[in-house]
Amino acid sequence: TSYFVVTLVFLFLLFCLRLYVVLKSGAKYKPGSKGSVSVLVAVGSGGHTTEILRLLGSLSSAYSPRYYVLAQTDRMSEDKIHAFESSREQGDSEFSVFRIPRSREVHQSWSSSVLSTVNALCYSVPLVFRLKPDLILCNGPGTCVPLCLVGLLLGVLGLKQVVLVYVESLCRVQSLSLTGRILYPLTHYFFVQWAALRDKYPKAIFLGRIV
């Protein structure tokens, strides 16, 4: 029994060390240095979708292909995605749309949120492992939590270095969203759009309003 416990502790420490290395090295990794950058975009609903599409509109055609991942219960975002992609220049519309279960519904209890997040994680693992994006871009929907965790796992296992970029929603002025608080220590680049948040969170990058 003691040998089993020691082995588990060793494996846990090894995992933590590898995770630390992945988080530190990710900011130095330049995925676009050898060509295009494949982007997995975690799409929320309502304002989250509008903001993330505005952000994508400011990116060059080098960020392609784009893999949009949205919740199975999201009925409106896919139409917005197709409208956005059709408005881009011809030849710059290489994209795909995928769906996973929602991590947490509005007003869902915390206890059941754990189960729904685990369920979303189970769907995210095969999807992210298959796509192996260079970059995961998200801005607050709960859907991005399991996607980012699997992106980190790819790096921990040495399969692919995935850069995680989080942009906090413009409506978050004084405090981070729940998703932001979860992903703050795990992302390589964490952007906020208000100086008050930059002052509270030293790792955060403040460039003013970007969406």
Q: What is the DSSP string of 42-101?
A: E--STHHHHHHHHHHHTS-TTS-SEEEEEETT--SHHHHHHHHHHHSPTT---EEEEEE-
**What is the Cα Rg of the chain in Å?**
18
Residue 148 has pLDDT above 90, yes or no: yes
Q: How confident is the model at residue 152 (pLDDT cuts 50, 70, 90)?
A: very high
Q: Give the residue-averaged pLDDT of 19-44.
A: 76
Q: How confident is the model at residue 19 (pLDDT cuts 50, 70, 90)?
A: confident
% of the chain residues with pLDDT over 90: 48
Q: Regarding beta strands 205-206 and 135-138, do their DSSP bridges make them parallel or antiparallel, or are they unpaired? A: unpaired
Q: How confident is the model at residue 84 (pLDDT cuts 50, 70, 90)?
A: very high
Instruction: Give the global pTM.
Output: 0.87
- Report the number of distinct structural domains present in the chain: 1
Percent of the chain that is helix, strand, coil (3-state, to 5): 45, 15, 40
Q: Which residue has the tokens 């921990």?
A: 156
Q: Are 117 and 94 in contact (CB under 8 A)?
A: no
Query: First vs last Cα of the chain: how many Å apart?
Result: 54
pLDDT at 136: 96
Q: What is the pLDDT of residues 153-191, one digit of tens each?
A: 999 998 999 999 999 988 898 999 988 999 999 999 999
* Domain region containing 92: 1-206
pLDDT at 60: 86
**Residue 112, domain member (yes or no):** yes
**Residue 211, domain member (yes or no):** no
Q: Which residue has the tokens 């220590």?
A: 185
Could you tell me the CATH number of the domain that includes residue 199?
3.40.50.2000
Of 23, 18, 75, 13, the closest CA to residue 49 belongs to 75
Residue 111 has pLDDT above 70, yes or no: no
Q: How far apart are CA 175 and CA 171, in angstroms?
A: 10
Q: If DSSP codes are grouped into helix, strand and coil, which group holds residue 7?
A: helix
